[in-house]
Structure 1
Amino acid sequence: MGSLKVTDTFTESISVLANEPSVALYLLQEHVRRSLPELAQHQAAMQPIYTAEYDRSAGKKLMDGSVYFRSVEGLLKQAISIRDHMNASAQGHR
């Protein structure tokens, strides 16, 4: 019966140690240390693809936005024309 108690106590101690937060942090640090070089290589390999896709996407958005720029330009020209007309009318009434 004594050896069963020692085994249970030992098992409980191992379980407590295995679930200790510092052990978890150590294991996490080890995992990151082992996998980080590979992740960095993947990121470096993907960077040109991402950059090219981002550039293409940004250029397309600018081209799509040109419709709005032309619309704003037209509205500004109308506003200037109305302002000039109002200024001319105001000077004519003096």
Structure 2
Amino acid sequence: MSYNPDADLEVRVRKATERISENMHIVANEPSLAFYRLQEHVRKALNPMVDRRVDVDKLQVELQGSCYDMEYAASAIKSMQNSDESFKNIKENLKNAIFLKQQLKYEESRRKKSESNSVYKRLSVHITLDLPELPELSDVVRETANRVENIMNKATSSGNTLSSSKE
């Protein structure tokens, strides 16, 4: 009996054995190839990743400092909003002080008597305020001066009317 193998069957068997051989070779070398690829990836990616991590940490510290500064600035602005009433009181007190100073100067200039015991003279000697020029209050000063002049003119004219009616 002669054995005649089928040519087609022989080709299939060879292909199958080659594939099995390749698979055995890949399976045998796969763990070392995988570790090599992992090591190569880590070597390439680790340094830039560490550098970025350091940069992120620096930025986080800077950001936290900026947040503290912003919170401090916000609280300062809130406290300034509450000081609005104080500034209004200061402004009113300055207006009153300027008005009173103008009245004293006017009264002093109008006095023709030179009494050494005069209350106004004693008071004006002690009041030596040099008020700074405040451009925003110049209109208030001008208005106050006009009011004082009008009051004094009315007082003078009513005094003249009274004195002429007495005669």
Indicate whether the TM-score tops 0.5: yes
From 12, 21, 32, the counterpart of 1:49: 32
From 40, 49, 56, the counterpart of 1:65: 49
> Cα RMSD over matched residues?
2.5
1:69-80 aligned at under 5 Å gives the runs 69-80=53-64
1:2-21 aligned at under 5 Å gives the runs none
**Bigger Rg, which one:** 2
Question: Please, what TM-score do these two structures have when normalized by structure 1?
Answer: 0.56
Question: Please, what TM-score do these two structures have when normalized by structure 2?
Answer: 0.34
The verdict on how the C-alpha distance between 1:44 and 1:37 changes in structure 2, with shifts beyond 3 A counting, is same
Gaps of 5+ in 2: 1-7, 79-167
Percent of residue pairs identical: 12
CA distance in structure 2 between the partners assigned to 1:66 and 1:51 by the alignment: 23
Q: Secondary structure of the equivalent of 1:51?
A: helix
The verdict on how the C-alpha distance between 1:57 and 1:64 changes in structure 2, with shifts beyond 3 A counting, is farther
- Alignment-derived partner of residue 84 in structure 1: 68
The verdict on how the C-alpha distance between 1:82 and 1:75 changes in structure 2, with shifts beyond 3 A counting, is same
Aligned length in residues:
67
CA distance in structure 1 between the partners assigned to 2:77 and 2:55 by the alignment: 33
Higher relative contact order (CA 8 A, sep 6+): 2
TM superposition shift of 1:32: 5.2
